[in-house]
A and B are shown apart, each in its own frame.
Chain A
């Protein structure tokens, strides 16, 4: 562990080419007792190929923020640019989404689930099958393509969901607490697998989670959000070397980083 350098600096310089740029984003929704502010003045930039994790207390709006980046929800004001262009509606060419529950269609096999986005675009059958099989191999599920979701474990379902998110080769992958429903061991394995897939595909990833350990283990940079109305209250660079290993979790630097995030969250609460 000699090469682990203690870096706890706040991120200042942004990478030259940004995959995601969020500026002045505010969201207010109509609640029972009038307007409820959900997100306040969010600004963030994610460089191409970076792995950014958003953490924050429940109900802070981190999922809403992710859904807005996916073009699935509309913010009250502010802009979101993905690959240099605003995103108003879902655009699978630019953004793939992996949801909290794997949300696979139970009436389709694993392979058909992965092909689903391609089928929507009426891609030729041969191309669909070839592409879906590549993805199945990428996520380590070769031989499981003909299984239905109810025949797969929780971890395997999320692997299929990741394969589905990547099948159209979008430069950006958004992940909304994808491993939250998994047991601790599976969760660790999946984190490791995700980093392997990420290093092989060079995607820009925004990953939302509750788990600080997961955040430090995965991220290049962790964004900390406050309780509602959600604001970004901290940016912490995770300069642990890659590839990450399980042993790193036992190091002081790992503990310091996690503690630092925890302090930020607690200070707010």
Chain B
């Protein structure tokens, strides 16, 4: 199947879903109060995009996502590398982290609110917290993916510890680290959304939760589309980076 055909089929599927979204509520097969027709949602989307309140929400949410990401990823990576490289640290912390990792992070959200209130800091702190563990686990896996024979080769040519780190560890770990970036972005974004929807005065999550509570379904669906676009944009940004750095992989 050619690339063109694949794209054509995908677009066709999308058109099919959107047509159903348009036609079914219009004809009353689905209650339009629960699923407003696609054209209504689109016009609502256009309308809310003009509201300053929505502009502010996009900015706040994006800022929270970026700041939380910039905190969680380097911190998690550093902890992960430390655990993987230190036998003792690994033996002590690995099982503990593994157990904490399996606990849903959202149950800690009320504590964040009690400690930090419901502002920007709390959103960032909670999102970073909910992302940290996946980064730690992945960074540990990345270190373990470094081949011992590669380290041996570098040592045989007289590499210093720093050279082994920068010229063997970093490039070896890069594929897993880049994948981690993308997965962490998903965790991170989810963390911000949950925090905003749970208790907040601004942000896209807050708006969507609010519209839902007030039964404003065209606004709710418009908000979902808007949020999907923002989330995909963040994800694609990370993917472009990933693609550039790992050109050598098949």
Contact = CB atoms under 8 A, between A and B. Distances in A.
B178 interface: no
A106 B163 CA distance: 17
A92 interface: yes
Contacts of B156: 70, 72, 90, 92, 95-97
A257 B249 CA distance: 46
Contact of B248 (A90, A95, A106): A106
Contact of B171 (A97, A105, A168): A105
B147 to A, nearest CB: 8
B157 A120 contact: yes
B158 A72 contact: no
Contacts of B153: 97, 99, 103, 105
A150 B250 contact: yes
A198 interface: no
Interface in B95-153: 147, 149-150, 152-153
B183 interface: no
Nearest to B171: A107
A148 B154 CA distance: 18
B71 interface: no
B250 A105 contact: no
**Chain A interface size, under 10 / 10 to 19 / 20 to 34 / 35 or more:** 20 to 34
B161 to A, nearest CB: 12
Interface in A80-110: 89-92, 95-97, 99-101, 103, 105-108
A108 B154 CA distance: 13
A97 B163 CA distance: 18
A108 B152 CA distance: 17
A92 B157 contact: yes
B248 A107 contact: yes
B174 interface: yes
B69 to A, nearest CB: 25
B201 interface: no
B165 to A, nearest CB: 13
A119 to B, nearest CB: 8
A106 B152 CA distance: 15
10 closest A-B pairs (Cβ-Cβ)? A117-B157, A97-B156, A103-B149, A107-B171, A92-B158, A107-B248, A103-B153, A92-B157, A90-B156, A148-B248
